[in-house]
Every structure is written in structure tokens, then in C-alpha cells.
Amino acid sequence: MTHQSMLYALLLLIASFIFPVQNSYAAQIIHEDKMKHATVSIIIGVVAYDFYHKKAGLTENQAKLAAFASALAVGTAKELSDSEFSWKDMAANSIGAGLGINIMF
């Protein structure tokens, strides 16, 4: 993912938070849930990438793959523990993990 495409994805994520599609209470709850999924996955992606690349000594691409898999594993475990598996939550987890592994400090 290039820096420009990452910026566009981040702006789209921010815009979706600021301008929700619907104004109903139910839509707001669903929207907040997806934002939480994406945010947690971003954090896991960033932390895991840092660990795998700097502490475990993996190459950049190996660390990105391992961090992405780690973020998705946590998201999948959470979804499997829910009463109903949500593919939309998994999509939010995937977007967050993808953004997280591309945030470099």
C-alpha cells in the first residue's frame, strides 16, 4: 500500500466517522461498532508490526504479514466468541489491520 493510498483510506475512514450514512439510532450503534473494530485492529497491527520487525527481527514484509495475521486472529477470535459471526465486523477488522501495518513510526 502506497502512502497516498493509505492516506485516502484513512481519510475515508475519518469521513465515514464524521458523516454517518444514516441518522437513525440503530445505524449509529452499528457505525460505532465498526469503528471500534477498525480502531482496535489498527492498534494491534501497529504494535504487532513493531514487535515482529524490531524485536523478532523479521523483514519488513514478513513483519507486515505476521502483524496482519495477528490482528485478524484477534478479530476472528472475538467474532467466534460472539453469539453471531459478522462478516461486516471482519471487514472492519481487515481494513484496520491493513492500515495498522502501514503506519510507520
Write the pLDDT tens digit of every residue in 3-32.
Answer: 666 666 666 666 665 555 566 665 665 678
On whether the CB atoms of residues 48 and 70 are closer than 8 A, the answer is: yes
Residue 27 lies in a domain: yes
pTM over 0.85, yes/no: no
- What distances in angstroms separate CA 57 from CA 21, 49, 63, one per listed residue? 43, 11, 8
Number of domains in the chain: 1
What's the average model confidence in pLDDT over 80-102? Answer: 90
Round to whole Å and give the CA distance between 91 and 35. 11
On whether the CB atoms of residues 33 and 25 are closer than 8 A, the answer is: no
What's the average model confidence in pLDDT over 73-102? Answer: 92
Residue 87 lies in a domain: yes
Q: Which domain holds residue 74?
A: 3-100
Residue 84 lies in a domain: yes
Read off the pLDDT of residues 22-68 as tens digits, 9 standing for 90 and up: 666 656 656 788 888 999 999 999 999 999 999 999 999 999 999 99
Residue 105 lies in a domain: no
